[in-house]
Structure 1
Amino acid sequence: MNELSGRIKEIKKSKSISLVKVQVEELLFSAIVIDTPETAPYLKINNPVKVVFKETEVVIALEKHLPISLQNRMEGKINAIDKDELLCRLTIETNVGIITSIITANAVNQLNLKEGQRICAMVKTNEIMLYHD
């Protein structure tokens, strides 16, 4: 799991669901939470939370400004590629911390990914989980 520390900056709710914006360093992450400030006491502006997402949910692109719906985008550099026959684990240094991505070996080959290469790592809003201590 990838885990980054941040603070809640904005909460929009609709019925029993909230769209929560979390500031992690200079990036603003979006997360869908099946809770509201009334049902989850940790959902308060400025509360510290952990932004958590699976390695398998990190999408890799060669550039940041693609016209797609993914909201959570982190520019970074590939520090390491642990390549296996079917899957590869990428260790990526971003300006919000080190994250990992697990993608297919075929995708690594198609994108011609190399250590030291600049990329954009992206995560869908509904794949971000929040937790608090």
Structure 2
Amino acid sequence: MNRLTGHIKNLQVEGQITLVTLLLVGDLEMKTILIDTPESAEYLALNQEVNILFKETEVVIGLEKTNGISLTNKIDCKVQALQRGILLSGVDLECAPGNIQAIVSTEALLEMGIESGKKVLAMIKLNEVMLSPK
């Protein structure tokens, strides 16, 4: 499980759903959508420090920035290390807010020419990001 730290920058509530904007190191913003509200989860408060959690299998790796994709959370990273398997590979990424790991198909890594030292874009769907109080 990937774990980063950030502060709640904005809360937008509709019914029982909250869109949370988070501020991480380096002025990086991430977003998540929760089936919770500030009334039902007291840690949902402006400026509250939170843990930002997401699975390694939920990280999509791209080679360049794009505005033509619906993935909201985009983090510039550098590949630190690879653990290549026959079907799946682990990718260790160095990013401003902290190191993260991704698990992607080995075939995709080879097609994209991913190797240590390469700059990539890590992307995570906002509904795959979980929060916990710090």
Aligned runs of 1:2-41 on 2, under 5 Å?
Answer: 2-25=2-25, 26-41=27-42
- The secondary structure found in structure 1 opposite 2:37 is coil
Superposition misfits of 4+ residues, deviation over 3 angstroms: none
* CA deviation after TM superposition for structure 1 residue 38, in Å: 0.9
| Secondary structure of residue in 1 paired with 2:99 | strand
Residue in 1 aligned with 2:43? 42
**Contiguous gaps of at least 5 residues in structure 1:** none
SS in 2 for 1:101: strand
Residue 95 of structure 1 deviates from its aligned partner by 1.0
Q: Match of 1:84?
A: 85
1:64 positional shift? 1.6
- Letter in structure 1 aligned against 2:48: N
The superposition leaves residues 23-75 of structure 1 with CA deviations (integer Å, 9 ceiling, x where unpaired) of 11111110011100111111100111011000000000000224100010110
TM-score, structure 1 normalization: 0.97
Question: Which has the larger displacement, 16-25 or 59-68?
Answer: 59-68
How far, CA to CA, are the matches of 1:7 and 1:31 in structure 2? 12
Query: Taking structure 2 as the reference length, what is the TM-score of the superposition?
Result: 0.97
Which residue is equivalent to 2:115?
A: 114
**Is 2:65 the partner of 1:71?**
no
> For residue 62 of structure 2, what is the aligned residue in structure 1?
61
Give the Cα–Cα distance (whole angstroms) in 2 for the partners of residues 63 and 14 of structure 1.
33
Number of residues of Structure 1 aligned to a counterpart in Structure 2 = 133
What is the identity percentage for the equivalent residue pairs of Structure 1 and Structure 2? 40
Give SS of 2:45's match: coil
Distance in 2 (CA, whole Å) between partners of 1:93 and 1:49 is 20
The more displaced of 28-37 and 61-70 is 61-70
